[in-house]
Amino acid sequence: MRLEGTLDAFSLPDIFQLLSFTQKTGTLHLRREGAHGAVHLRAGSVTGGRADMLRQELGRRLLGTGLVDDEVLAAAAEELAGDATLSLAQLLAEKGKLDVDTVRDLAAEQAHDAVFSLLRWPDGEFAFVVDESDPDDLGALVPVDQVVAEGQRRLAAWGELVESVPAPDAVVVVNASPDTDPALNRGEWALLSLVDGRRTVADLVALSGRGEYAVVSALAGLVSRRLLVVRAGAEQDRLVSRQSLLTALEGGVIEASAPAGSPPVAEPVSSRRAVLPEQGEPVAPPRRQEVAEPAPAFARATAPSSTFSRSAGTTGAHGSVEGAMALAPERSVDPAAIESDPSLNRSLLLRLIAGVRGL
């Protein structure tokens, strides 16, 4: 039997019902605008599915659970690199010696998530390939009625969830001041550990390995309890923006001025304010004159004398200087005068004389 067509002529639930009723084995392929999804069936029951055939979705789910260590992953990745047709999920389950029931349940969860994502396609083309095997077959067998009913239930709740957490480009940040003491289960704690204030919902879905519905549901619950806050991807973190107002005054790094996801950029050193205000050179207080000091070598004559006058000028070995700004020559101090005057400090004056002559 050849089964193909478009989703505007046949709804996906009707196609599933037909494949279940006829107990078909094979793969239902769906394509639209470059996207390619697939649901695998055996004897009318779903064994697995992928909303994106380019991704190892079930293998990512196994990695997200933490059941596989790095050594097993490296060995599986090396083998997968040699043959791209192999299944990462089967390689991980085999090399990691994972519990059969555990991987079967994970495969069933992946099938539900894949069908839910495909049910949201508004249009596209489908084609059923008879007897095409499931490369990720880990033993799961889910009745079609159960898969379709769960997908429709999720569709009914999806509208309310995306009002709380707009998917997939919304960014969630941890609320630093929750209303109550946090109480988390293991799944919420694992998801919260991936929130860094920059990752989008799509990033969290890819990193956790869980389906979009499961991740958005958990995030919506954390948002409703005020443990997470949703913001637009380009919006800066509110706390960082508020702190940056003080950081600018303190001359530090303004993280809020950089785009989300980029490293903080420090201001140029020249534009920062100094930690301590600049101060001028220290000014010593005026020194009180205790004794008479000798006249400087070229003190300006401020008053006429019997020897030097403003009109007469000065005369010396190198010529004469005339005018009001004539300078008086150095007057020598006789040490004998110091000895004869007991009111003078002899030792201090002798040191001053020696210092002046040394200049």
More confident residue, 297 or 128: 128
Q: Are residues 118 and 178 in the same domain?
A: no
The amino acid present at 312, given as its one-letter code, is A
CATH of the domain at 219: 1.10.10
Domain end residue (candidates: 96, 130, 154): 154
Does 120 lie in the same domain as 180?
no
Question: Residue 232: its pLDDT value, please?
Answer: 55
Cβ of 290: how many Cβ atoms within 10 Å? 8
The whole domain housing 248 covers 238-270
Tell me: do 212 and 141 sit in the same domain: no
pLDDT for 54 equals: 87
Q: Do residues 141 and 202 share a domain? A: no
Same domain? 244 vs 223: no
144 is a domain residue:
yes
57 and 148 housed in the same domain: yes
Mean confidence (pLDDT) of the chain = 77
Q: What is the dihedral of CA 226, 116, 118, 143, to 10 degrees?
A: 170
Q: How far apart are CA 88 and CA 56, in angstroms?
A: 7
Of the candidates 154, 189, 213, which is a domain's last residue?
A: 154
- pLDDT at res. 132: 93
**Do residues 152 and 13 lie in contact, with contact meaning Cβ atoms separated by under 8 Å?**
yes
Averaged pLDDT for residues 310-329: 46
Q: Tell whether 191 and 148 lie within a shared domain.
A: no
- For the chain, what is the largest distance between any 2 Cα atoms, rounded to a whole number of angstroms? 140
* Domain end among 184, 203, 231: 231
Q: 225 and 242 in one domain?
A: no
Specify the pLDDT at position 170: 86
> Does residue 335 or residue 146 have the better pLDDT?
146
Based on the fold, state whether residues 223 and 247 are members of the same structural domain. no
* CA dist list (Å): 190 to 66, 185, 276, 294: 10, 9, 47, 89
Tally of domains in the chain: 4
> 135 with 171, same domain?
no
Q: Is the pLDDT of residue 296 over 70?
A: no
- Specify if 201 maps to a domain: yes
Mark whether 131 and 200 lie in a shared domain. no
Domain assignment present for 286: no
**pLDDT recorded at residue 315:** 46
Q: Which residues pair with 314 in a beta bridge?
A: 321
Provide the pLDDT confidence category of residue 210 given band limits of 50, 70 and 90. confident
278 domain residue, yes or no? no
Please say if the pLDDT value at position 257 is more than 60. Answer: no
Strands of the chain, DSSP E: 3-6, 26-32, 35-42, 45-50, 125-130, 142-143, 171-174, 228-231, 314-316, 319-321
Residues 214 and 127 in one domain: no
